[in-house]
Amino acid sequence: MSLLIKNAIIVNADGEAKGSKDILLEKGVIARIASSIPSENFKVVDVEGKKVLPGLVDLHAHFREPGREDKETIETGSRAAAKGGFTTVMCMPNTSPVIDNAMMVDAIFQKVRRAGLINVIPIGAITKGQQDQELVDMFEMKKAGCLALSDDGKSVNSSQMMRLAFEYAKMVDILLIEHCQDPDLSAGGVMNEGYHSTLLGMKGDPGLSEIVIVARDIELAKYLDTRVHLAHISLKRSVELIRQAKAQGVKVTAEVCPHHFSLTEEIVKSFDPNAKVNPPLRTQEDVDAVKKGLKDGTLDCIATDHAPHTQEDKEVGFGDAPFGMIGLETAFGLGVSELVDKKVLSLPQLVEKMSAAPAKIVGLEAKGVVAEGFDADLVVVDVEREWEVKAEDFVSKSKNSPFIGKALKGCVEKTICGGKIVYESK
Ligand code: DOR
């Protein structure tokens, strides 16, 4: 059925439209945008001058299916995404078993269709079982519908394996996403290495671990003249390396997570296991640098690294807890509160980082823009509305967020995917 959205202030990456518009959604696409479209017999939603953005796109989430459905499933993850304003989410392959063959990709797509909520696109592994020994069949993975491959959760540790991966990926034309963390340098680390890890008596994970893989992959991409996307960049030095590489024309893109622009390592003093994440929370200098990187375009997009874990798994000593925090339901609020409100980015620039740019990076050409002919994926937001993050309000199966109790500004009111309302706030 067609859906008519009335009185929308459209905000795209290139700016906010003057005056309100009506948007007609038909057969999954934006059929018409005009100052006034007669209601006829369409289903009508009057958004009364609220801002309407292209549906958010997340290049990095962990839905734990198959293997840990007690933490998250495709369906519950999709619900959390819809509540967060996301209409497309790419889910990482570090499931059990690892998503490293076309049959598994098919199975994920089947679950996505059954959930019938948002677009979830599985990211396949780079190496079989994420074991660093043998490459997956990249051609087969692409044919099955993967837009990108990653061994996320860990780096591709062998430089020779990564070189081969880049060579094949270039031939197949599929994006590789690197989790930048040298396993030897990081071994045993549970938080950022530095003053605070020493003070707390915790084993540190040095920034150097991220830096050496960022530098290695930039050099490989440059040498092989191919593209690479660097996941969850957390350090000032990484931002500098990416900035330099871009200036030299290297085909590198990079993402930053909301927690890395909102929190510092100091929160670990609380011993909240929900603040344990990979890469670890860093220093204020790093937070300032990633914000600057977002502002000047060095960091292309914002990705959540939504990493659900059960309370049982997290409620152990900080050192023993698994790495990760959920992020889909707080990402937009953190973007507005930490970036737009603090004048790091304008709202259109936030739209660029959370929708247009990620869509472009993976080649989703019909997404990331509110315009006629584009997919009918939209999010209606109230950027002024304040809300408190509460554990009981999360629709994700897991509640592991260090932001519980925090007041955020910027609220998702409705999410529309493929022309269908998939989330409405109370
Ligand atoms: O904190 C993290 N958790 N970082 C990752 O890279 C993986 C993720 C997970 O799968 O739990």
If you measure from the C-alpha of residue 146 to the centroid of ligand 1, how many angstroms do you get, rounded to a whole number?
Answer: 20
Looking at residue 17, the DSSP 8-state letter turns out to be P
- Judge whether 305 counts as a catalytic residue: yes
Closest atom of ligand 1 to 179 CA is 6
Testing ligand 1's pocket by substitution, the residue of 63, 70, 90, 152 carrying the most ligand atoms inside 8 A of its CB is 152
pLDDT of amino acid 359: 99
Q: Is the CB of 242 under 6 A from ligand 1?
A: no
Q: All domains of the chain, ordered by start, with CATH? A: 3-51+375-394+401-424 (2.30.40.10), 54-361 (3.20.20.140)
CA distance 421 to 19: 24
Q: Which residues contact 212 (CB under 8 A, 6 or more apart)?
A: 182, 185
Nearest CA to ligand 1 atom 4: 278
Ligand 1 pocket check for 179: Cβ under 6 Å:
yes
Distance 153 CA to ligand 1 centre (A): 5
Q: How far is the CA of 44 from the centre of ligand 1 (A)?
A: 41
Distances (CA, A) of 17 to 33, 52, 373: 11, 10, 17
Residue-level pLDDT at 41: 85
CA-proximal residue: ligand 1, atom 1 (nearest):
324
Indicate which residue of 305, 313, 375, 377 is catalytic.
305
Q: Could you read off the pLDDT of 34-60 as tens digits, one per residue? A: 999 999 889 999 999 999 999 999 999
Residue 104 Cα, ligand 1 centroid: separation in angstroms? Answer: 21
For the CA of 92, the closest atom of ligand 1 is 10
| Residue ranges for the chain with pLDDT beneath 50 | none
Strand-pair category, 175-178 with 228-230: parallel
pTM of the model: 0.98
pLDDT for position 53: 98
- Residues 59, 64, 69, 71: what is their CA dihedral angle, to the nearest 10 degrees? -90
179 C-alpha to center of ligand 1: Å? 10
Q: If you take atom 9 of ligand 1, which residue's CA is the nearest one?
A: 307
